[in-house]
Amino acid sequence: MTDDMLSPSQEVIRRIEELRLALERHNRLYYVEARPEISDREYDALMHELERLEQEYPELDDPNSPTHRVGGEPLEGFQTIVHAVPMLSIGNTYDADELRDFDKRIKRLLETERDLAYVVELKIDGVAISLRYENGALQYAATRGDGVQGDDVTANARTIQTLPLRIDAPPEIAGRVLEVRGEIYYDDEAFRRLNEEREKAGQQLFANPRNATAGTLKLLDSREVARRPLNIFLYSIGDTDFNLPATHFETLQALDTLGFRTNPERCLCRSIDEVIAKTEEWETKRRELDYAVDGLVIKLNDRRLHGELGATSKAPRWLCAYKFSAEQAETTLESIDIQIGRTGNATPVANMTSVFLEGTQVSRATLHNFEEIQRLDVREGDRVVIEKGGGIIPKIVKALPSYRTAESKPYAFPETCPSCGGPLTPSEDEVAIRCLNVSCPAQLQERLQHFAGRDAMDIEGLGDVLVRQLTDAGLVKDFADLYHLKVEDVAGLERMGEKSAQNLINGLELSKTRPYPAFIFALGIRFVGITSAKLLCRRFRTIDDFRQASLDDFQSVEGVGDIMAQSLVNFFSNLENNALIDRLFAAGVDPKPEAAPDESQHVEAVAGKTFVLTGTLPTLKRDDAKKLIEAAGGKVTGSVSKKTDYVVAGEESGSKLDKAKKLDVQILDEPQLLHLLGKA
């Protein structure tokens, strides 16, 4: 067939294919290999021609066309993708000895004493991703999720210019399926710019590039993702029938050939001693990188041995991570502030000269409590060393006393509350110091913020700034005052207009019928979190039930300990608290009780009894057994104790069965359980 004989549409098909291939190639040359062959203008001309053709012939559109890198329509939510091969995690090592142990373990398992070759790679601090290609075309991009299944973030991943939408494998390695895994990340500069824009827009800042990456990948509108410069490095293989090289080092080279962006900072070491030398080198060299790296990954080079070594339930045995020691920075502790929490707890907070640490500017750090200040002997004006505990929250590690001047004085503990001026009193049972003044404005503000929070009354329009304005203006002195606010009261406040005032009043109106657990949580009873509030509300369905409950009644709720029970009794026996609750109800607050559990299916022998399931049952899946027991009114818990009524044991029951025998707990097999449930 000659060109002359092609029908117009076949010609169009051919041209579209030609344009797509050309654009993908130029994309790769520009973004991955940094050696463009055409000008931006020529590139744009090709892109426009393709866009025009795809618009004209929508039936020829393809989600993997380079035109779709700019992002498409917003999604409703993410679909779940089950990984063909689970995405496991990596075991950590922290020093040379642990690396030697890792090497010894492998040698023991492989029954060899010869030196083993390893590839040392950078451990990119981003978000893990699995890309699946079938017949050369990207099928999906999925996050790691829980390792078994993750989110389908294809639309967002497609916007990453360095990610190939199609691959063209040389025949000697080509197969049908290739799953390639790697890390999506922001480089330091892109992260800095993103946070700068967010600051300008009054949005909350991302704590580090990893959070920013995760936040970006979770956006439902891929057009917004396309505006952000995410990037990707690929470093391993999942499911595949490709004929890949026998070593990991060569596999990375094969990924390069296929057009994937791999990290150039990799190195082949012939023994664990060479690996250790590399880790030492990178402890300092890592600071020269312009993206966040939290360690190195050490991988056994011979891929044929990977299968032989296998994996534990968490991580493959053929690789490990070497975590860098936490990065530290030196700065000056300018002052120590006292923050008063909603229960009056005073927390010291360090204000420091801003310093760059692991990708972010740091100027505040928690000092936890006053004992911590004593332990560290840190003083205002000190030079201090800080690091990020767990990689995110900065903390002061030590003071550097040699820099102190003659004026330096040990930190004097505050005696009065910075907000209300009342005395700060050490509590007997805790290391804490507390302001006991219940009308302290700082406490009131914290309590109101808690009251308005998402899990509590969820009052739209009532943020931290407005809370401060309302209390400063004396308009709100307790929760109930909120429900007496009028549009004109609020509209008069600084930076508030008629519209935002109305917004708040609407938000307050909606909050009146929140579910009971949200209301109980909103009251801010010490030690009662939202989960406990839910447990409590299953048993105590109205506010009168709470008011009438005794210490014993509270203690008998599963998940409620002695301290929480005592705190509930204290709260509900306090006259002021009860008056406040009455005022809330009088103002129209009317929380909705939880739906009553369906007791029609309860079976007498099971209702109220506690079960533990262990081992594999012959026919019932564990989840199904749990549902049957719960529908019959029983409870299923995780561990055997004296309170357990029955242990249901299947094949390979381990320590739970032993414990049941020791404690003389009745043991059932599946038929006995079904009999008890009235099902057999």
Binding site for ligand IVH (CB under 6 A): 88-90, 121, 123-124, 128, 144, 183, 235-236, 297, 315-316, 321
DSSP 244: -
Q: For ligand IVH, which is the closer residue by CB, 316 or 348?
A: 316
- Strand 383-389 and strand 328-340: pairing? antiparallel
* Residue with the shortest CB distance to ligand IVH: 128
Shortest distance in whole angstroms from residue 207 CB to ligand IVH: 18
Shortest distance in whole angstroms from residue 659 CB to ligand IVH: 34
Shortest distance in whole angstroms from residue 248 CB to ligand IVH: 10
Locate 133 and state its tokens: 């290609």
Shortest distance in whole angstroms from residue 118 CB to ligand IVH: 12
Shortest distance in whole angstroms from residue 87 CB to ligand IVH: 7
Which of 336, 350, 431 lies closest to 385, judged by CA? 350
Cα–Cα dist 229/543, whole Å:
52
Shortest distance in whole angstroms from residue 127 CB to ligand IVH: 7
CB-facing half-sphere around the CA of 583: CA atoms within 13 A: 15
Q: Do 430 and 454 meet the contact criterion of CB atoms below 8 Å apart?
A: no
Shortest distance in whole angstroms from residue 32 CB to ligand IVH: 17
The residue count of the chain comes to 680
* 43 DSSP β-pair partners: none
405 by DSSP, 3-state: which?
A: coil
Q: For ligand IVH, which is the closer residue by CB, 235 or 249?
A: 235
Cβ neighbour number for residue 318 with a 10 Å cutoff: 25
Q: For ligand IVH, which is the closer residue by CB, 124 or 549?
A: 124
Cβ neighbour number for residue 200 with a 10 Å cutoff: 8
Cα–Cα dist 607/624, whole Å:
17
Which of 314, 275, 315 lies closest to 295, judged by CA? 275
Cα–Cα dist 491/134, whole Å:
59
Q: Return the residue matching tokens 């008069």.
A: 492
Cα–Cα dist 274/103, whole Å:
12
Q: Do 436 and 344 meet the contact criterion of CB atoms below 8 Å apart?
A: yes
Shortest distance in whole angstroms from residue 8 CB to ligand IVH: 48
* 433 DSSP β-pair partners: 346, 426
Locate 183 and state its tokens: 């890390």
Shortest distance in whole angstroms from residue 317 CB to ligand IVH: 10
The answer for residues whose C-beta is within 8 angstroms of residue 615's C-beta and 6 or more apart is 649, 650, 651, 652, 653, 654, 657
Q: For ligand IVH, which is the closer residue by CB, 315 or 487?
A: 315
Shortest distance in whole angstroms from residue 319 CB to ligand IVH: 6
Q: Return the residue matching tokens 């005794």.
A: 550
Cα–Cα dist 264/267, whole Å:
9
Shortest distance in whole angstroms from residue 295 CB to ligand IVH: 8
Q: Return the residue matching tokens 């229960």.
A: 343
Cα–Cα dist 386/188, whole Å:
20
- Strand 610-614 and strand 646-649: pairing? parallel
DSSP 73: S
Q: For ligand IVH, which is the closer residue by CB, 54 or 183?
A: 183
Alpha carbon distances (Å) from 117 to 114, 123, 233, 534, 621: 10, 18, 23, 55, 44
State the amino acid at position 176 in one-letter form: R
Cα–Cα dist 435/442, whole Å:
10
Q: Do 210 and 157 meet the contact criterion of CB atoms below 8 Å apart?
A: no
Catalytic residue among 123, 278, 388, 609: 123
Q: For ligand IVH, which is the closer residue by CB, 258 or 505?
A: 258
Q: For ligand IVH, which is the closer residue by CB, 246 or 663?
A: 246
Q: Known catalytic residue: 592?
A: no
189 by DSSP, 3-state: which?
A: helix
Angle at 596 between CA 591 and CA 599, to 5 degrees: 175
Which run of H or of E encompasses 137?
Answer: strand 137-143
Q: Do 87 and 130 meet the contact criterion of CB atoms below 8 Å apart?
A: yes
Shortest distance in whole angstroms from residue 185 CB to ligand IVH: 9
Q: For ligand IVH, which is the closer residue by CB, 10 or 92?
A: 92
The answer for residues whose C-beta is within 8 angstroms of residue 445's C-beta and 6 or more apart is 464, 467, 468, 471
Q: For ligand IVH, which is the closer residue by CB, 54 or 294?
A: 294
Shortest distance in whole angstroms from residue 213 CB to ligand IVH: 11
Cα–Cα dist 420/438, whole Å:
10
Q: For ligand IVH, which is the closer residue by CB, 54 or 358?
A: 358
CB-facing half-sphere around the CA of 245: CA atoms within 13 A: 15
The answer for residues whose C-beta is within 8 angstroms of residue 562's C-beta and 6 or more apart is 555
Q: For ligand IVH, which is the closer residue by CB, 117 or 496?
A: 117
Q: For ligand IVH, which is the closer residue by CB, 300 or 620?
A: 300
Question: What residues are annotated to the active site?
Answer: 123
